[in-house]
Amino acid sequence: MQIQKTGEPIRVRADHGIEVPDHPRIPVIEGDGVGADITPVMCKVVDHAVSQAYGGSRALAWHPVAAGGGHRRACPEANPLPEETLEILKREVVSIKGPLETPVGGGVRSLNVAIRQALDLYACVRPIRYFPGVVSPVRHPEDVDLVVFRENTEDIYMGIEWPMGSDEAQRLQRFLNTELGVAPLRFPSTTAFGIKPVSREGSQRLIAKAIQYAIDADRRSVTLVHKGNIMKYTEGAFCQWGYALAESAFGARRQAGQRGLWITNPVTGREIHIRDMIADNFLQQVLLDPAQFDVIATLNLNGDYFSDALAAQVGGIGIAPGANIGDGTAVFEATHGTAPDIAGQDAANPCSMLLSAEMMLRYIGFHEAADLVLAGVRGALAHGFWTPDLIRAAQRAQGHAQAEPAVTLAETGFALHPVGTRGMGEAVILYMDVPGALG
> Which residues contact ligand NAP by CB under 6 A?
34, 99-102, 112, 317-318, 333, 336-339, 341-342, 348-349, 352, 389
What residues have CB less than 8 Å from 390, skipping those under 6 apart?
134, 135, 315, 316, 318, 319, 349, 381
Residue nearest to ligand NAP (CB): 337
CB of 58 to ligand NAP, least distance (A): 28
User: Which of 216, 280, 289, 305 does the annotation list as catalytic?
Assistant: 280
Taking the complex as a whole, the smallest distance from the CB of residue 415 to ligand NAP amounts, in Å, to 21
113 vs 172, beta carbon nearer ligand NAP: 113
Smallest separation, CB 76 to ligand NAP (Å) = 18
Choosing from 304, 363, 389, 431, the catalytic residue is 304
Closer CB to ligand NAP, 197 or 340, in the complex: 340
Q: Which of 32, 44, 130, 157 is catalytic?
A: 157
Active-site choice (97, 196, 209, 227): 227
Q: How far is CA 43 from the centre of its chain?
A: 19
Report in angstroms how near the CB of residue 309 gets to ligand NAP at its nearest: 14
Query: Residue 203 or 349: which CB sits closer to ligand NAP?
Result: 349
Q: What is 105-155 written as a DSSP string?
A: STTPPPHHHHHHHHTT--EEEEEEE--TT---SSS-GGG-EEEEEEE-SSG
CA-wise closest residue to 297 among 214, 378, 184: 214
Residue 3 burial (CB count, 10 A): 10
Question: Is residue 48 a contact partner of residue 56, using CB atoms and an 8 Å limit?
Answer: no
For residues 439 and 311, give the distance between their C-alpha atoms in angstroms, rounded to a whole number: 22
Between CA 8 and CA 387 the distance in angstroms is 36
Cβ proximity to ligand NAP: between 157 and 241 the closer is 157
Q: How far apart are CA 50 and CA 1, in angstroms?
A: 13
Residue 204 or 349 with smaller CB distance to ligand NAP? 349
d(CA 67, CA 343): 17
Decide if 80 contacts 67 (C-beta within 8 A): yes
- The Cα–Cα gap between 182 and 192 comes to 16
Q: Which among 306, 235, 240 has a CA at the least distance from the CA of 274?
A: 240
Is 280 in the active site?
A: yes
| Closest distance to ligand NAP from the beta carbon of 14 (Å) | 31
> Smallest Cα–Cα separation from 237: which of 254, 152, 150, 245?
245
- Tell me how far, at minimum, the Cβ of 26 lies from ligand NAP, in Å: 18
Residue closer to ligand NAP by CB (options 331, 432) is: 331
Nearest CA to 203 out of 243, 170, 247, 172 is that of: 243
Q: Is 408 exposed, middle or buried (0-12, 13-18, 19+ CB in 10 A)?
A: exposed
Residue type, 324: N
Residue 101 or 276: the one with the smaller Cβ distance to ligand NAP is: 101
Cα–Cα distance, 83 to 90 (Å, whole number)? 11
End-to-end, the C-alpha distance of the chain in Å comes to 27
Q: Least distance (Å) from ligand NAP to the CB of residue 350?
A: 7
Quote the least distance from Cβ 92 to ligand NAP, whole Å: 19
Q: Which is nearer to ligand NAP, 169 or 348 (CB)?
A: 348
327 is catalytic: no
372 vs 45: CA distance, rounded Å: 10
Is 304 noted as a catalytic residue in this protein?
Answer: yes
Catalytic residues: 157, 227, 280, 304
